[in-house]
Structure 1
Amino acid sequence: MEKKLVPKIILEGTRLTFKTDIAFLLNEHPEIVGPRKYRYHSPIISAEWCSFTNFPWGRGLINFLPEEAPRAMETYKTWVRLFELQKYYSWIVDRFYISTQVFQKTHHGMDYDFSHLERRLKTLGFHMVFLTRSPESFESARKERLKVSGNPTQYDDLSVFYKEQLMMKSCIDKSILPVLTLDISDNDKNRAVDSIARWLKETGGLYSPD
């Protein structure tokens, strides 16, 4: 019997690094999900959902207020418990606790410890992909994003994203998860997805560790 494909991937990076587009492409890649005779999807989840407020562009698991921290931490515990209960399944996560760490440190001066979460994710076989781009390449990415963005003002100051990227690198350097740092400055999403698939295959990230 063939081994079951159950990759568990966390995509981290600033805005304009095409994380969501890459998540959808990963969900179609034959090396990641196997050959398909009909179309279906693995779960794609995100900490970027503004699920704490009943209005657009509100707060959620990344940009919560200090008084909402217990709710955020409980949400993270719920997610990882769900992963544990369904460990023989594929999960693609578009931004997660690294994004939370960087936002909360930058905007609220808070350092949240996710080491307990990481240990559980590592046991499950999660792999992290850190999508980066050069400072000068953010402008070309912004031009593409403005064609579809419903909130274009968030891309006015591109320097914010590069500073955030440096902070993310500092957090990711401390991670115990397997990490692939992937430059997306050329805006080639298909190349990026092929690289991720190849890395997962090489590191055993396509299958359950047990």
Structure 2
Amino acid sequence: MAKLCPKIILEGTRLTFKTELAFALNEHPRIVGPRKYRYHSPVISAEWCAFTNFPWGRGLINFEPQEEALAIETYQTWVRLFELQRYYSWIIDRFHLSTQMYQLQRYDKHYDFRWLEDRMRPLGFRLVFCTRTPESFAAARIERLKVSGNPAQYDDLQAFVAEQKLMQQLVAATTLPTLTVDISDNDVPAAVERIADWLEATGGLTMESMPSPT
């Protein structure tokens, strides 16, 4: 059988179950093949607060202006790693569109990531935009509060509705192949099957051999 090496970016505001989808995709036999034991293929995220030495600090999405060079170098490092390990599956829980959204809202600054997409597109990266209806955020919040270590971030649901509208504009401008998945029903398994169907239909589960990276 052909080697499965899908590359999926999950984008969307909080409470759209991106992390749940990422874990489910990473273990689904249609996405990563049949497995008899749990395997450590990577689920990574721009949401990691790796720029500060305290919980819920800053990272690749919510960096401050003086950390811009650090953030851009981090993105350059990630894309180089993807190029070097192109025949592997990569599932990303929030990435450059989340950075664009936050930086626009916080600092009114637009970061042009066309250079990033131009390097990721030949590797087969595809983007899944996770959405939900405005009225469904409340039920999603109830579920998230059962496990959240930082519940205060979910107090203002209208902020998520506003973020989603901005994210829709950013998704419309991306050059990556895109699927929009409505998760209003909170049905993660069904959403995973829709994503798998799309990947199969568009050739997103495998990739052609390419010249060795230099």
Superposition TM-score tier, normalisation by shorter sequence: over 0.9
Q: Which residue of 2 aligns with 1:100?
A: 99
1:115-194 matches, cutoff 5 A: 115-194=114-193
Q: Which residue of 1 aligns with 2:38?
A: 39
Following superposition, the deviation at residue 129 of structure 1 comes to 0.2
Following superposition, the deviation at residue 208 of structure 1 comes to 1.2
- The one-letter amino acid paired with 2:90 is W
Following superposition, the deviation at residue 108 of structure 1 comes to 0.8
**TM-score between both structures, scaled by the size of structure 2:** 0.96
Residues in 2 aligned to 1:209 and 1:123: alpha-carbon distance in whole angstroms: 10
Residues 119-158 of structure 1, C-alpha deviations (whole Å, 9 max, x = no match): 1110100000000000000000000000111111111110
Q: Which residue of 2 aligns with 1:196?
A: 195
Following superposition, the deviation at residue 39 of structure 1 comes to 1.9
Unaligned runs of at least 5 residues, structure 1:
none
Q: Are 2:92 and 1:112 aligned?
A: no
Moved over 6 A (4+): none
Aligned length: 209
Residues in 2 aligned to 1:88 and 1:30: alpha-carbon distance in whole angstroms: 17
Preserved contact between residue 124 and residue 209 of structure 1 (Cα < 8 Å): no
Partner of 2:104, secondary structure, is: helix
Residues in 2 aligned to 1:173 and 1:90: alpha-carbon distance in whole angstroms: 25
Q: Are 2:5 and 1:3 aligned?
A: no
Residues in 1 aligned to 2:40 and 2:136: alpha-carbon distance in whole angstroms: 31
Residues in 1 aligned to 2:55 and 2:161: alpha-carbon distance in whole angstroms: 25
Residues in 2 aligned to 1:152 and 1:86: alpha-carbon distance in whole angstroms: 37
Following superposition, the deviation at residue 109 of structure 1 comes to 1.0
Q: Which residue of 1 aligns with 2:66?
A: 67
- The one-letter amino acid paired with 1:139 is A
- The one-letter amino acid paired with 1:179 is T
- The one-letter amino acid paired with 2:126 is H
Following superposition, the deviation at residue 37 of structure 1 comes to 2.0
Q: What is the RMSD of the two structures over their aligned residues, measured on CA atoms?
A: 0.7
Identity percentage of aligned residues: 66
Following superposition, the deviation at residue 38 of structure 1 comes to 2.1
Following superposition, the deviation at residue 41 of structure 1 comes to 2.7
Partner of 2:147, secondary structure, is: coil
